[in-house]
Amino acid sequence: DLAENYYQKGILLARQGGSDPEILGILLNNLGTLFIEQGYPEKSYEYLIESFRLRQSSNDLVGMGQSHRTLAEYYMAINDEHTAIQHLNEGYRLALQVGNMSLLTEVAIKLFEAYQRQGNADSALKYYIAYADVNEKLNREAAANTLTQFEITSKYEESRQLMRLEQQRKEQRYLFVGLTLLLILAIISLLYFLSHSRNKRLRLEAENIQLNAQKMELEKDSLEKELEIKKKELTTNVMYQIQKNELIYEIVQKLQKQMATAQRPDQRWLLQTIRDLERTHDTSVWQEFEVRFEQVHNDFYQKLNEIDASLTPNERRLCAFLKLNMSSKEISLITGQSPRTIDVARTRLRKKLNLTNSDTGLVEYLAAL
């Protein structure tokens, strides 16, 4: 980097020539500042600290204040805001001590920004007020100096100045008219652009709303179709179980009739066959049924638990069958229990669900869940 090379050469010449420590301190501090601005704070520290120590050894209070300010920038660059604030406070103290208003404003505004980032409103306000006061004082001094200089020069060029002012007034009038026309044109263009952008945005939003509505409708139709398919699968599965158990029941009835007339060896075989058929009520069938049922009526069991958490698994299963509007006979064919047993279980279930003295039917009540 060209600036870095010049600073390095200047520092080398200052060291070799034994020049004023103030000059070397400025060069070191400026090089450290350059590294911070370039995003290499780790390279800046050795130059900044050397500059500070050099100024400290020569009791250069203004230079020390400037070094504290630059060291604060270094610590901010490495995210050590606490140490940065310490250096800023020390720089502020030195600026007050020597009455350097320019340094005072620079440090005060940085303290304001640091405390504001920390959320320390009181301290931020304090240093902002200090910055504003000093800055106002500097502005007043600058204004006073300008006024004095103006009064001196105006006596010498009063006549010429009046002519120039008149010419300037004319030019300013022309400039004002031109700028006003340009401003009006810019406002009209901006209003047109904003109106066009707003209409375009509203149109896009309307299209997005329509697309989202169509998407939601498609998703709804898809879910309804999927639910209908699952309902059909559940019904088909239940009917299959009923038909299978009806067939088993009929076969068992026929085999039991043959038992009365069969020979003893045949009776043993028939009895074993009947027992094998009666054991075909596999528990995995129940598990498959409950999985299919919950896919269609996913919150049915949860609602039952909210009504009565003491329902047994068999009672919950009976509720599921009744939810499908199955008769006691159809349920008995699946469960292997007699219709009478199913009716007794239904009566007990009505009592648990507080429907004993109600006109609402059990099937109607469960269908509404």
pLDDT (tens digit, 9 = 90+) per residue, 261-278?
A: 877 778 888 888 888 776
For residues 47 and 29, the answer to whether their CB atoms sit within 8 Å is yes
What is the rounded average pLDDT of the residues 127-142?
Answer: 88
pLDDT computed for residue 282 by the predictor: 53
CA distance 229 to 296: 9
Residue with tokens 């509404």: 368
Supply 335's token pair: 């469960």
Task: Say yes or no to pLDDT of 123 above 70.
Answer: yes
pLDDT computed for residue 219 by the predictor: 82
The CATH topology of domain 2-156 is 1.25.40
Q: Assign 15 a pLDDT band (cuts: 50, 70, 90).
A: confident
Task: Say yes or no to pLDDT of 238 above 90.
Answer: no
For residues 206 and 258, the answer to whether their CB atoms sit within 8 Å is no
For residues 121 and 83, the answer to whether their CB atoms sit within 8 Å is no
Q: Domain residue spans in the chain?
A: 2-156, 231-367
Task: Tell me the percentage of the chain whose pLDDT exceeds 90.
Answer: 34
| Nearest CA-CA partner of 67 in 47, 82, 83, 81 | 47
CA distance 189 to 86: 51
Residue with tokens 């609402």: 360
N-terminal to C-terminal alpha carbon distance within the chain: 79
Tens digits of per-residue pLDDT, 35-90? 999 999 999 999 999 999 999 999 999 999 999 999 999 999 999 999 999 999 99
Q: What is 65-97 written as a DSSP string?
A: HHHHHHHHHHHHHTT-HHHHHHHHHHHHHHHHH
Task: Say yes or no to pLDDT of 151 above 90.
Answer: no
| Nearest CA-CA partner of 346 in 324, 368, 331 | 331
SS3 263: coil
| Mean confidence (pLDDT) of the chain | 85
pLDDT computed for residue 337 by the predictor: 84
pLDDT computed for residue 234 by the predictor: 63
Task: Say yes or no to pLDDT of 283 above 60.
Answer: no
For residues 134 and 108, the answer to whether their CB atoms sit within 8 Å is yes
Q: What is 154-188 written as a DSSP string?
A: HHHSHHHHHHHHHHHHHHHHHHHHHHHHHHHHHHH
Please give the residue that has the higher pLDDT: either 218 or 249. Answer: 218
The DSSP code for 279 is T
Please give the residue that has the higher pLDDT: either 1 or 192. Answer: 192
pLDDT computed for residue 216 by the predictor: 82
- Find the range with the poorest average confidence among 53-57, 104-108, 136-140, 233-237: 233-237
SS3 217: helix
CA distance 242 to 270: 23
